[in-house]
Amino acid sequence: MNPQILLACIQINLLRCPLMRPETVQDCLGKSREQVNAMIDSGELPFAFDLSTNPKARKEPRIFSLCVAEKSGWKNEAGQTKNYQLPEVVGMILLNRDVRSTDLKRILACSGEHVYVLAKENFTVARKPKVHDGPNSFTVFNRPSVEKFLISRRMI
């Protein structure tokens, strides 16, 4: 396979699943959970978000995939992720429209139940599920409410 095509495919996948669980980061970087947590705390992984349902309890970090790719040696044409601004990163994470609950499961790398627990207190509903959507029905959340949530949950 052409190396340029391979790199393009990798980049598309990184943006398709923009947030990674710590376990995935451990596998990608060959680090322990403690080392990944230390990288988040030190700012070495500059864009991590706490998706716990109770921020005062155990943290549930999700790490921006381009930060992980950069740590594994991938060179980003746009420059280092540490130079990005938070709104720019959130713009890369979220779609440019209101967000379906099914999309949030993929974007946030969490279960549907977890999305709904987060949504109860953090997201504004733009459209409730409809009967004619069938068994794959979904709720649509206002993008600004999800964006505000991510900004408020950045781990620094």
pLDDT value of position 138: 87
Distance CA 16, CA 59 (A): 24
pLDDT value of position 76: 67
Can you list the residues of the chain whose pLDDT is less than 50? Answer: none
pLDDT value of position 141: 95
pLDDT value of position 9: 64
State both tokens at 149.
């949530």
pLDDT value of position 8: 63
| DSSP secondary structure code for residue 74 in this structure | P
Contact 128, 61 (CB under 8 A): no
